[in-house]
Amino acid sequence: MTDTACWQAPIAAPCPQHRERALARQARLTKPPGSLGRLEGVAVELAALQASDRPDLDAVAITVFAADHGVCAEGVSAFPQAVTGQMIANFVTGGAAISVLARHLDARLEVVNLGTVAPPPVSDGVVDETIAPGTDNLAVRPAMSPEQLDAALAAGDRAAARAAEAGARLFVGGEMGIGNTTSASAVACALLGKPARSLTGPGTGLDRYGVGRKVAVIERALRRHADPRDPLQALASVGGFEIAALAGAFIGAAARGLVVLVDGFIVTVAALAAVRLRPELRPWLVFSHQSAEPGHVRLLQTLEAEPLLCLDLRLGEGSGAALAVPLLRQACALHNEMATFEDAGVQDRS
Ligand SMILES: Cc1cc2ncn([C@H]3O[C@H](COP(=O)(O)O)[C@@H](O)[C@H]3O)c2cc1C
Ligand SMILES: O=C(O)c1cccnc1
């Protein structure tokens, strides 16, 4: 499908020496060993990933990938498709949840438009990576062509390159695309070989009849497309431009040494596809939260991921990941700034 693909860039392993030194430091800090719980392990892994004795997440880049979905023709979302383009404008003018969170984190926020049916007015704040006005209806035809998949993966990689260029140490990927919980569930079912009902939920707020319709649409789509366990096939046949771009961005971020903080259901599906493509990516992924979308917990189990937060969020946009950034920063601050027993003259256990 792709020969000189961006998603084939080498991804380094976390540094074992820095991990050892970080573990030794944690053991000398003025606290009973293990008393900072999972924050200790998080700081140690960040030190190993950043190959640094003082991990730091001051510079955060958030990229929201937006695109529309032909499958909306099947009535799979509680909201109209025009909302995707309208929300792009809202991201840029600062009124969306992720805009507020990014401001308070002092994070770089970028919006990448991969193709919407009702594009917002041209704006400085939006990177135009339009592939098509949206995917095809995955219940009837493949969502995208192999060339469109390549374009989406490459757009994600370019976004990761810009984040690295801007000096970010942590990459947050968000998404916006009415109908994209249908694509995400379909990709997850394809990759995991599970029936649609096990990974499908209400998204923006479907009632149980709506969820039943969504399950039927996904089942129809899965019957129609061949070899769905191949991650590239799954993304092309039932994915979305923003989901594929997220997969490309995560591989591109890790290849450039940026830790990736994974958001909710849709972003985790992109992360799963990316890990299937590149298993070396897995250590670079930190999982921020468990979404209220019912399939998310199954995906997290598959990825052996322990999310930091469980707040019943079901928004997307990268919002859950943004909410976990302060926790990660505090884990680094504790690791970097606490005194050791020797420094503080505190007696260690005998
Ligand atoms: C105003 C609004 C803002 C959002 N921000 C994220 N989403 C979230 O909801 C959508 C997926 O749900 P479904 O598959 O049910 O359409 C995605 O755009 C996702 O990011 C939003 C949805 C709405 C309506
Ligand atoms: O968890 C998510 O990412 C999610 C859930 C519902 C709607 N939009 C996003």
Q: What is the ipTM of this complex?
A: 0.99
- Mutational test site, ligand 2, from 187, 263, 265, 297, max ligand atoms within 8 Å of CB: 265
Question: How far is the centre of ligand 1, averaged over its atoms, from the C-alpha of 304 (Å)?
Answer: 26
Q: Is the dihedral of CA 237, 238, 241, 244 positive or negative?
A: negative
How far apart CA 85 and CA 68 sit, in angstroms, is: 8
Q: What is the overall mean pLDDT for the chain?
A: 97
Number of domains in the chain: 1
pLDDT at position 4 is: 66
CA 288 to each of CA 22, 246, 294, 333: distance values in angstroms, whole numbers, following the listed order: 22, 16, 16, 18
Ligand 2 atom, smallest distance to 292 CA:
1
- Name every residue whose Cβ is closer than 8 Å to that of residue 110 and which is 6 or more positions away in sequence: 61, 62, 63, 64, 125, 127, 159, 162, 163
Residue 186 domain-assigned?
yes
Question: Does residue 289 sit in helix, strand or coil?
Answer: strand
Q: CATH number, domain at 90?
A: 3.40.50.10210
- Quick one: pLDDT at residue 252? 98
Domain membership flag for residue 15: no
pTM: 0.98
- Please tell me the residue having the least CA distance from ligand 1 atom 9: 204
**HSE, side-chain direction, 13 A CA sphere, residue 262:** 35
The domain of 178 spans 60-328
Decide if 171 contacts 259 (C-beta within 8 A). Answer: yes
Question: Is 1 within the bounds of a domain?
Answer: no
Residue 285 lies in a domain: yes
SS3 state at 110? strand
Supply the pLDDT for residue 3: 55
Q: Which helix (H) or strand (E) holds 224?
A: helix 208-224
Does 334 map to a domain?
no
Of the residues 110, 129, 242, 317, only one is catalytic, namely 317
Asked about 342 being catalytic, the answer comes back as: no
Query: For residue 124, what pLDDT is reported?
Result: 78
Closest ligand, as measured to the CA of 186: 1
280 domain residue, yes or no: yes
Q: Residues of the chain whose pLDDT is less than 50?
A: 1-2
Task: Determine, yes or no, domain membership for 270.
Answer: yes
- The pLDDT of residue 5 is 87
Q: Is 225 a member of any domain?
A: yes
Cα 183 to Cα 177: distance, rounded to the nearest angstrom: 10
